[in-house]
Amino acid sequence: MKNYFSIQDIDSLPDWVSEARQLKGSPTSQKQLGVGKTLCLLFFNNSLRTRLSTQKAAMNLGMEVMVMNFGNEGWALEYGDGTVMDQGTSEHIKEAAQVVSQYCDIVAIRAFAGLKDKAKDEAEEVLNGFISYASVSVVNMESSIGHPLQALADAITLAEHQGPNRETDSQENKTDDKPGKSEQGQQSGARRKPKIVLSWAPHPKALPHAVANSFVEMMRRQDAEFVITHPKGYELNPEITGDVPIEYNQKKACENADFVYAKNWSSYSDYGKVLHQNSDWMMTQEKLGAAKFMHCLPVRRNVVVEDAVLDSGQSLVIEQANNRTYAAQVVLKKLLENMR
Amino acid sequence: MKNYFSIQDIDSLPDWVSEARQLKGSPTSQKQLGVGKTLCLLFFNNSLRTRLSTQKAAMNLGMEVMVMNFGNEGWALEYGDGTVMDQGTSEHIKEAAQVVSQYCDIVAIRAFAGLKDKAKDEAEEVLNGFISYASVSVVNMESSIGHPLQALADAITLAEHQGPNRETDSQENKTDDKPGKSEQGQQSGARRKPKIVLSWAPHPKALPHAVANSFVEMMRRQDAEFVITHPKGYELNPEITGDVPIEYNQKKACENADFVYAKNWSSYSDYGKVLHQNSDWMMTQEKLGAAKFMHCLPVRRNVVVEDAVLDSGQSLVIEQANNRTYAAQVVLKKLLENMR
Amino acid sequence: MKNYFSIQDIDSLPDWVSEARQLKGSPTSQKQLGVGKTLCLLFFNNSLRTRLSTQKAAMNLGMEVMVMNFGNEGWALEYGDGTVMDQGTSEHIKEAAQVVSQYCDIVAIRAFAGLKDKAKDEAEEVLNGFISYASVSVVNMESSIGHPLQALADAITLAEHQGPNRETDSQENKTDDKPGKSEQGQQSGARRKPKIVLSWAPHPKALPHAVANSFVEMMRRQDAEFVITHPKGYELNPEITGDVPIEYNQKKACENADFVYAKNWSSYSDYGKVLHQNSDWMMTQEKLGAAKFMHCLPVRRNVVVEDAVLDSGQSLVIEQANNRTYAAQVVLKKLLENMR
């Protein structure tokens, strides 16, 4: 693995989840691995969890960290080939990526979708620009179309709560050096697959699809009963959802669920638009039933989900945020190991 | 001590001052104490001294530091219970505080008074929000109503210049393992109590009461002749000033003073208002007499105090700023010791 | 050397270049030198290369680093003597410089020219203010009139590509402990002096003279055939260019050049003005011939220089940026050595 751009860069999800959980148990056990190595975090957008957890992960591995808010501390970047740069952009991605590569060993980047121009967003010009021209590894800290550090943290959280990765803890693995197996068909005994629901939720602003996309990609590699529910018009990119069933009746989708992941996103077909607020899609204790509740945060209380859910023992949102550290740490560890 | 929220969290002021002075003499003597521990600094407002001195203090103790400007790097926080978050705020303090706690061992926060709404400011929603929901220790880097790191630095500075804490250096203590005693009645021999004046000063903008409040709270625990002077209408919160004498004649208040601390604050009764500029309240060499001059900085020259005072040997302002490092360091040291 | 303010602070350019190249070969060989020392970076303007490379250099030397964007994180500074500070400035440079000095061992500062007022820019109030009042060493990370870290990186790059410092690699030096000699008369055998051209280039915005000035100052200490070319009206400060020949015909100036350094600057005589865009002054492959191409970056492609040049093997711009780390590192090393 040269870069961590998407969930597709994970060779074995159960192995990575298992390794992350080992790091969680002993966060500084690999403190020597990153000594003398530098991580550079470049933010083109705001960040709380990603900013702090990725720094923390790097420090746990002994790395040095440089943080830069590219937008207001650096120069406006140009991405076009052959552009006559006589307008607002001061520096081309070709130079920026090569230059930054010389000051660090890994560069991690956050650059959200603009939600104005689908083709432009899907070109992922910031992340792909860095990947094309950087000479060091690139980590995606949320791009236009994916948030694979979040989805990996979500996989860790699911595994901890006996979701689809629970097999990594199973007895048979304890006699096995490798902390995971193939990603399919690892159900122990007659235990049924967990039912996991990704539910669209209302939100006053147009939000990107990145979190939902990466969660779907991650879930498609899990042995679970996975359902997406949203109002008509909010279908995600069908190339990402593939054959995942879509249930337009939220209540029905949530029936007998083990985990419900709520998240708002704007329309994909009517790109970047908020079609309606649909406040009746807010996640409630009633709809949730006995399921565990998940969200990537930040979450708007009583819009996306009611207080009663977040304040109950069924909410996993704080643990998901905690697992961001170990998701980042396993990614950085893999990249550092590749450098040896 | 779980948190350092106010001067009231100091169990023994002489002990802390003495310990801070020991750290000043040998700043990295406790370099092992913070190894593997992380301090997160969250700024909701601008900062120079606090930003740098608190980082420096943490590094002196071997801690790792993450700095975040919450306002423009993170998400707008909501503090209200039960709010339907469909307006400007994106994340609730309940989540933010719990999440940040997972990435660090101590969180230090700066959040100034808005000076629009007394009840809201006095509720200290940012600091109290973090204290309520964080699972780690919280340090106040200036809140709406207090600036206890500044007041502790001021106490150190007073002690260095033979103010009320001078007893910690006295001969009798040298035979004593404990570096301080009770806070009262420690005058050596017939020496008179130092006279210390807190004087209001003019300023073009409305400023918070935090520095003045914490200085008063700190002084009320000292064995000194303490007087506050200000124009009528600028009375501080009477719950904080208590029985401290107020002298409305500045010149008379400063007579025979050993230390004069100048500081502007806006009206408390006519909350947050600048009643008048009163340029005749600027501190001058003439009013100061032989007293030492103190101010927390930043200071507006020739508005709050004339150049002649700041440029004289009587000014302690640079040393006060220096002692910010050791005030922060003793606070962090106490919190780290509590974690063992 | 107390401060690194300009190229004039370099005692022996060949020695420094040689030392920088040694550090480049073994960046962490002096990792103990900076342990327990702190570098504070203060940015009054944007920065990418300087921000990251200077941090990296400090970390290579074992130093701790604090970074602050003074403009939006701190307080507006006053520089005037005797000012009644009742307007927009909150803190005087006298206090700020003394205070910051107490939290670090070296302070590095970036403060660009405003290009409105020549006398004010040439007074270098920010850098000179810190130099006057700071008790620690000050490093110039680009001031109104100079960018000596860039010029030192340029000297390293020239030396690596057999420019005027090539003698430091010559056989006779290998038997010599000192890694350089006098700055003049070191031509080996009959080899001709390299021809180096500083060429003005078009740019849509008014840019400062700092990079050009420091490059000229550096070149005047080199044993090279050095020519400046620009349209009439773009003459640099004659006190800086001195007797360096100016050729107004760009094509003629570039004939048989070994190195061409392109850079835009605004008019000096009609201070800070863009006189015209002169797109025919863009550097092209044709004008460049067989010469190496240099630029400090960020560079506007197809305005300052055509893609074909930047994308060719003749471009040294990425290596110049790389050498920023070692330029900063040799400066910090010299300052740290002086502290012992």
Residue A192 confidence (pLDDT) = 81
- Could you count the other beta carbons within 10 Å of the beta carbon of residue A45? 16
pLDDT tens per residue, chain C (340 residues)?
999 999 999 999 999 999 999 999 999 999 999 999 999 999 999 999 999 999 999 999 999 999 999 988 999 999 999 999 999 999 999 999 999 999 999 999 999 999 999 999 999 999 999 999 999 999 999 999 999 999 999 999 999 998 775 444 444 344 344 444 444 444 444 568 999 999 999 999 999 999 999 999 999 999 999 999 999 999 999 999 999 999 999 999 999 999 999 999 999 999 999 998 789 999 999 999 999 999 999 999 999 999 999 999 999 999 999 999 999 999 999 999 999 8
Cβ pair B258, B295 in contact under 8 A? no
Contact criterion met (CB < 8 Å) for A318 and B91: no
> A84 to chain C: which residues are within 8 Å by CB?
301-303
Residue B175 confidence (pLDDT) = 39
Number of C-alpha atoms within 13 angstroms, CB side, residue B307?
9
- Ranges in chain C annotated CATH 3.40.50.1370: 7-147+324-339, 192-315
Q: What is the mean pLDDT of chain A?
A: 93
Which residue, among B335, B334, B330, B340, has the nearest Cα to B54 in the 3D structure?
A: B330
Burial of C255 (0-12, 13-18, 19+ CB in 10 A): middle
pLDDT above 90 (res A177): no
Q: Could you list the residues of C known to form a binding site for carbamoyl phosphate, using ranges.
A: 47-50, 75, 110, 147-150, 296-297, 324
% helix, strand, coil for chain A, step of 5: 40, 15, 45
CATH class of domain segment(s) C7-147+324-339: alpha beta
Number of C-alpha atoms within 13 angstroms, CB side, residue B65?
22
Nearest to C68 among B51, B298, B318 (CB): B51
- Could you count the other beta carbons within 10 Å of the beta carbon of residue B117? 12
pLDDT per position as a tens digit, A83-109: 999 999 999 999 999 999 999 999 999
- What CATH architecture is A192-315? 3-Layer(aba) Sandwich (3.40)
Residue A191 confidence (pLDDT) = 66
Nearest to B51 among C38, C73, C85 (CB): C73
How far CA C259 is from CA of B98, C32, C219, in Å, comes to: 57, 37, 12
Residue B244 confidence (pLDDT) = 98
- Rounded mean pLDDT of A34-60? 97
Q: What is the rounded CA–CA span in Å between residue B246 and residue B253? A: 9
Contact criterion met (CB < 8 Å) for B53 and C100: no
Cβ pair C264, A85 in contact under 8 A? no
> B75 to chain A: which residues are within 8 Å by CB?
46, 48, 298
Q: Could you list the residues of C known to form a binding site for N(2)-succinyl-L-ornithine, using ranges.
A: 142, 203, 263, 300
Contact criterion met (CB < 8 Å) for B49 and C99: yes
Residue C164 confidence (pLDDT) = 72
pLDDT above 80 (res A142): yes
Q: Which chains touch A (3 or more CB pairs under 8 A)?
A: B, C
> C44 to chain A: which residues are within 8 Å by CB?
none
Q: What is the rounded CA–CA span in Å between residue A126 and residue A78? A: 9
The alpha carbon of residue A5 is apart from the nearest alpha carbon of chain B, in Å, by 23
Contact criterion met (CB < 8 Å) for C74 and B43: no
Nearest to B52 among C87, C90, C100 (CB): C100
Contact criterion met (CB < 8 Å) for C84 and B301: yes
Q: Find the residue in B nearest to A51 (Cα).
A: B68
Q: What is the rounded CA–CA span in Å between residue B137 and residue B135? A: 7
Contact criterion met (CB < 8 Å) for A84 and C56: no
Q: Which chains touch C (3 or more CB pairs under 8 A)?
A: A, B
> B312 to chain C: which residues are within 8 Å by CB?
none
Helix axes B317-339, C93-101, angle to 10 degrees: 40
What is the ipTM for the molecules in this complex?
Answer: 0.91
DSSP state of C32: T
pLDDT per position as a tens digit, A269-292: 999 999 987 899 999 999 999 999
Contact criterion met (CB < 8 Å) for A86 and C318: no
Residue B191 confidence (pLDDT) = 66
Chain C interface test: which of B52, B61, B66 (most C C-beta within 10 Å): B52
Nearest to B52 among C68, C78, C86 (CB): C68
- Ranges in chain A annotated CATH 3.40.50.1370: 7-147+323-339, 192-315
C26 phi and psi angles, rounded to 5 deg: -150, 75
Cβ pair A206, A115 in contact under 8 A? yes
Contact criterion met (CB < 8 Å) for A103 and C318: no
User: From the first residue on, what is the mean pLDDT of each consecutive set of 10 residues in chain B (340 residues)?
Assistant: 97 97 98 97 97 98 97 92 95 98 98 97 97 98 98 98 58 41 46 92 97 98 97 98 98 98 98 92 98 98 98 98 98 95
Nearest to B103 among A53, A297, A300 (CB): A53
pLDDT per position as a tens digit, A190-237: 568 999 999 999 999 999 999 999 999 999 999 999 999 999 999 999
* Cβ-based contacts under 8 A for chains B and C: 86
Q: What is the rounded CA–CA span in Å between residue C155 and residue C153? A: 5
Residue A112: both structure tokens together? 């959200």
| Helix ranges (DSSP H) in chain A | 13-25, 49-60, 70-73, 93-101, 118-123, 125-133, 148-160, 171-174, 210-219, 238-241, 250-254, 285-288, 307-310, 317-339
> A103 to chain C: which residues are within 8 Å by CB?
52-53, 55-56, 325
pLDDT above 90 (res A266): yes
Q: Find the residue in A nearest to B70 (Cα).
A: A48
- What CATH architecture is A7-147+323-339? 3-Layer(aba) Sandwich (3.40)
Chain B interface test: which of A39, A55, A156 (most B C-beta within 10 Å): A55
> B96 to chain A: which residues are within 8 Å by CB?
48, 298
